[in-house]
Amino acid sequence: MRFKPLYFALTFICLILLMGCSDKNDTIETATLKPPDLTIHVGDETIKPVLGTYSWSIDNEDGTETGVDSDSDIAPELIKNIDSIHVTEDTNIELEFEKQPDNYTVNIWEDNDIASTSNDVDLSGHGEVIYEIVAHWQQGTGHYAFVLYIE
């Protein structure tokens, strides 16, 4: 009878040790293998752009990295089924990244080609305008697409 508590204690200790020795890579969630979320504040409205092409890697802290490269269609195709938000040239636009990128550029698309590139969201056009934010972090790059209708 004295062996049951000892047997239970040894089994419990072995389980704890096995859990502590498990591979860290088994617990990597796919959510960590993509760029941070981007929220765009358009006047009083908030929109979530579509995440397109991205490349992302994380340090496993053992001298290795885990990474993913995800390819997508071009920005005009990504947003073709998304309703545009109506804005005017003086509408305030704020980009709020879950984690601030090292830098980013803003592309404006016309006829399936990039028409211009700048460092901010330019509202000087008229009609439906397709934007692509290309953000860069140490871990990788993400492309985000959204559409606005400029009155």
Cross-strand partners of 132: 107, 145
Q: Mind listing the pLDDT tens digit for each residue in 45-101?
A: 999 999 999 999 999 989 999 999 999 999 999 999 999 999 999 999 999 999 999
Q: Are 43 and 91 in contact (CB under 8 A)?
A: yes
Q: Give the C-alpha separation, 51 to 34, whole Å.
A: 9
Does residue 13 register a pLDDT over 80? no
CA angle, corner 107, sides to 81 and 124, nearest 5?
90
* Full residue range of the structural domain in which residue 69 is found: 24-150
Full-model pTM = 0.79
Determine which helix (DSSP H) or strand (DSSP E) holds 8, and give its type and residue range.
Answer: helix 3-20
Q: Give the C-alpha separation, 136 to 120, whole Å.
A: 15
In a domain, 74, yes or no: yes
CATH code, 143: 2.60.40
In a domain, 10, yes or no: no
Q: Mind listing the pLDDT tens digit for each residue in 117-144?
A: 999 999 998 999 999 999 999 999 999 9
Where residue 19 falls among pLDDT bands split at 50, 70, 90? very low
In a domain, 13, yes or no: no
CA angle, corner 56, sides to 53 and 59, nearest 5?
175
Six token digits for residue 26: 């088994």
In a domain, 60, yes or no: yes
Domain count, the chain: 1
Q: Give the C-alpha separation, 70 to 74, whole Å.
A: 13
In a domain, 59, yes or no: yes
